[in-house]
């Protein structure tokens, strides 16, 4: 019997492990043990745990949005809509970092569309901050300041867009290691 049915069909009764499984595997049957929601740790590396009293549910929700945007970026790339792909990659990085902010601080961090600065603010490693910096120019306000919308897809090649997808995936994997392993 699925966890959803075991909880009388009420999604509010789902525990952290079941939410993680649904994000990673989709809907299906699984037996899951319950863990206390108020005692969590972030384990960015084995043996290096950081206690958190942040917003785990909010972090998980925002991480799920980032994962959905990652899928959309791939679709946009496949359709040849290269700016839309890059824009979604920018959103992936922002939402992933903000999910970590929710987890660590209990709130989203204020920033001015500089993803590298946001990464530093939430404690991302230097290599992740560099990936985020690559994606910073693709916030629409910034991009359209120098590029007319009708030329947006012509300015970014398929190869460039593909590299932005890879950068966004690395940022998402970093956030995943924190958000989905918080206990």
68 pLDDT above the threshold of 80: yes
Is residue 119 over pLDDT 90? Answer: yes
User: Residue 36: pLDDT above 70?
Assistant: no
Q: Measured between alpha carbons, how far is residue 9 from residues 4, 12, 30 in Å?
A: 5, 9, 15
| Residue 139 located in a structural domain | yes
End-to-end CA distance of the chain: 24
Average of pLDDT values for 19-33? Answer: 49
Cα 133 from Cα 79, distance rounded (Å) = 25
Residue 76 located in a structural domain: yes
Query: Is 113 within the bounds of a domain?
Result: yes
User: According to the model, what pLDDT value does residue 45 have?
Assistant: 44
User: Is residue 3 in some structural domain?
Assistant: no
pLDDT > 90: what percent of the chain? 61
What tokens were used for 52? 């958190």
Judged against a pLDDT cut of 60, whether residue 148 lies above it is answered with: yes
Note the pLDDT of residue 153.
86
Q: Where are the beta strands (DSSP E) in 34-115?
A: 40-45, 48-52
Q: Of 1-5, 75-79, 116-120, 156-160, give the lowest mean pLDDT range.
A: 1-5
Specify if 150 maps to a domain.
Answer: yes
Mean pLDDT (the chain) is: 81
The model's confidence at residue 72, banded by pLDDT at 50, 70 and 90, is: very high
Q: What pLDDT, on a 0 to 100 scale, did the predictor assign at position 6?
A: 45
Please report the pLDDT score of residue 16 as a whole number.
62
CATH number at 153 reads 1.20.120.330
Contacts of 26 (CB under 8 A, 6+ apart): none
Asked, for residue 8, whether it belongs to a domain, the answer is no
Q: What is the pTM of this model?
A: 0.72
82 is in which domain, residue-wise?
53-179
Task: Report the distance separating Cα 19 and Cα 134, nearest Å.
Answer: 31
Q: Is residue 10 part of a domain?
A: no
Total domains in the chain come to 1
Which of these ranges, 39-43, 68-72, 98-102, 173-177, has the smallest mean pLDDT?
Answer: 39-43
């Amino acid at each position: 019997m699925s966890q959803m049915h075991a909880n009388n069909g009420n999604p509010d009764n789902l525990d952290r492990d079941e939410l993680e499984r649904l994000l990673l595997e989709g809907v299906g049957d699984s037996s899951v043990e319950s863990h206390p929601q108020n005692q969590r740790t972030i384990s960015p590396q084995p043996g290096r745990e950081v206690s958190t009293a942040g917003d785990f549910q909010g972090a998980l929700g925002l991480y799920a949005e980032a994962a959905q945007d990652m899928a959309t970026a791939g679709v946009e790339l496949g359709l040849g809509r290269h700016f839309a792909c890059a824009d979604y990659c920018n959103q992936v990085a922002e939402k992933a970092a903000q999910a970590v902010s929710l987890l660590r601080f209990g709130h989203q961090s204020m920033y001015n569309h500089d993803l590298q600065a946001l990464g530093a603010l939430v404690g991302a490693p230097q290599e992740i901050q560099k990936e985020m910096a690559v994606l910073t120019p693709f916030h629409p306000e910034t991009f359209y300041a120098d590029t007319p919308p009708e030329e947006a897809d012509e300015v970014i090649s398929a190869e460039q867009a593909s590299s932005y997808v890879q950068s966004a995936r690395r940022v998402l994997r970093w956030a995943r290691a924190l958000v989905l392993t918080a206990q």
